[in-house]
Amino acid sequence: MSSKRATLIDDVLAKSRELSTETVMFHTAIAEKRGLSAVESKICDYLARLGPLTPKDLAEFSGLAPASVTALTGRLESKGLIKRKPHPDDRRKVLIEFDMTAVAAAAPLWDHIVAATTRACERYSEEQLETVIDFIGQAIAITHESTAMITDPEGAAQSR
């Protein structure tokens, strides 16, 4: 590997770490403004992006223990952010659904970062943006897998 390539890879790792820290701080600030913990905020994000999920699915996506998901969904329900509804295919199951009106209430908190990121994207060609999207997608998968390895080492080993 060339020394320039090694330096670039080191820079990617350093910038990824820096972005991760800034992202955690940003999301923590958003959560605090909304009266949520960072984990509660991220669970709302899962539900907003993925749609209604069973508690089991939510535990698997988040890496949280089932008991933690139960307590967390109770708190979110009491705050009016989620609803529990019967599963359409299995009466024994329940689905947890995010109240999408909460997204509209939080939208102004995101205005600056969305606009600034959109402006930053204008600097790049379509091909470069496709590369960025590919890299971010891989980083998401790696991060999700790494979280699973920490929270459920046996399950992560089975899925490989």
Domains of the chain in sequence order: 3-100 (1.10.10.10)
- How far apart are alpha carbons 56 and 62 in whole angstroms? 10
- Predicted confidence (pLDDT) per residue in 142-153, tens digit: 998 998 899 876
CA dihedral 36, 64, 67, 30 (to 10 degrees): 0
Rg (CA), the chain: 19
> Looking at beta carbons, which pairs linking 72-80 to residues 24 or more positions away fall under 8 Å?
72/39, 72/40, 72/43, 73/43, 75/40, 76/40, 76/43, 76/44, 79/35, 79/36
| pLDDT tens-digit series, residues 15-65 | 999 999 999 999 999 999 999 998 999 899 999 999 999 999 999 888 899
pTM, two decimals, is 0.77
Q: What is the pLDDT of residues 60-88, one digit of tens each?
A: 888 899 999 999 999 999 999 999 999 99
Length of the chain: 160
The two structure tokens encoding residue 40 = 């509660």
pLDDT at 156: 53
Distance CA 118, CA 129 (A): 11
